Amino acid sequence: MRLALDEAERAVLGGDVPVGAVVLSPDGTTVLAAGHNEREATGDPTAHAEILAIRRAAAALGEWRLSGCTLVVTLEPCTMCAGAIVQSRVDRVVYGARDEKAGAAGSLWDVIRDRRLNHRPEVVEGVLATECARLLTDFFRGR
């Protein structure tokens, strides 16, 4: 999560909401890819940290299936990112701060673990939640 927090801090430099993500290999020790929000920096509405990290991890592996991989992200994924997580076959999602307004991993919706879908990753929430939430709170207070 500390690596994801480092990524989140990079987002602020581009004027983006500080969310960072890291994809770990199936062994859990190798970082396959990382990303941070780049919507403002690129003008791409899909440039969320999770989407960018998933794209980069797939490129690093040379395939779209991220079976066995873990996505670590500072903020609970939204519905778009939750859909990408399910579609990419990530096995585990670890996130820091809950997103009561747009979260899709248990707070507002639970897309990731919806029993109607063909793939349901494990979800671990609240890892370094205070630090993750503080970064977001500080960003929005400064606006």
Whether 50 sits among the annotated catalytic residues: the reply is yes
Residue 48 counted as an annotated binding residue = yes
**Three-state DSSP state, 16:** coil
What interhelical angle do 2-13 and 49-61 show, nearest 10?
120
Residue among 7, 38, 50, 76 flagged as catalytic: 50
Whether residue 69 is annotated as binding a ligand: the answer is no
C-alpha dihedral, 74 to 77 to 78 to 82, nearest 10°: 160
Angle between helix 49-61 and helix 79-88 axes, rounded to 10 deg = 20
Question: Which residues are known binding-site members for Zn(2+)?
Answer: 48, 78, 81
Question: Which residues are known binding-site members?
Answer: 48, 78, 81
Residues designated catalytic: 50
